[in-house]
Amino acid sequence: MTDVRRQVRDHVRTNPGVHFNALTRNLDIATGQAQYHLHRLGRNDDVVAEEVRGRTHYFDPEYDPWERRLVALYRRETARDIITLLLEAESLAATTLADRLDLARSTVSWNLDSLADADVVDLSYGDRGQVEATLTRPEETVRCLEAVTPSLADRLVDRFVRLVDDGLYGED
Question: How distant, in Å, are the alpha carbons of 91, 93, 109, 122 from that of 127?
Answer: 13, 11, 19, 16
- Contact present, 16 and 35 (Cβ < 8 Å): no
Q: What is the rounded distance in angstroms from the CA atom of residue 31 to the CA atom of residue 82?
A: 32
Specify the DSSP class assigned to residue 45. T
The dihedral region occupied by 12, where left means phi > 0, alpha psi between -120 and 50, and beta the remainder, is alpha
- Quickly count: other Cβ atoms within 10 Å of residue 171's Cβ: 11
- To 10 degrees, what angle do helices 31-43 and 20-27 make? 110
In this predicted model, what pLDDT tens digit does every residue of 62-119 receive, in sequence order?
Answer: 999 999 999 999 988 899 999 999 999 989 999 999 999 999 999 999 999 999 999 9
Per-residue pLDDT for 150 more than 60? no
pLDDT of residue 165: 62
- pLDDT-derived band at 152 (thresholds 50, 70, 90) equals very low
Tell me the C-alpha distance between 106 and 131, whole Å.
13
What DSSP assignment string belongs to 10-43? HHHHHSTTEEHHHHHHHHT--HHHHHHHHHHHHH
Q: Domains plus CATH for the chain?
A: 1-63 (1.10.10.10), 71-144 (1.10.10.10)
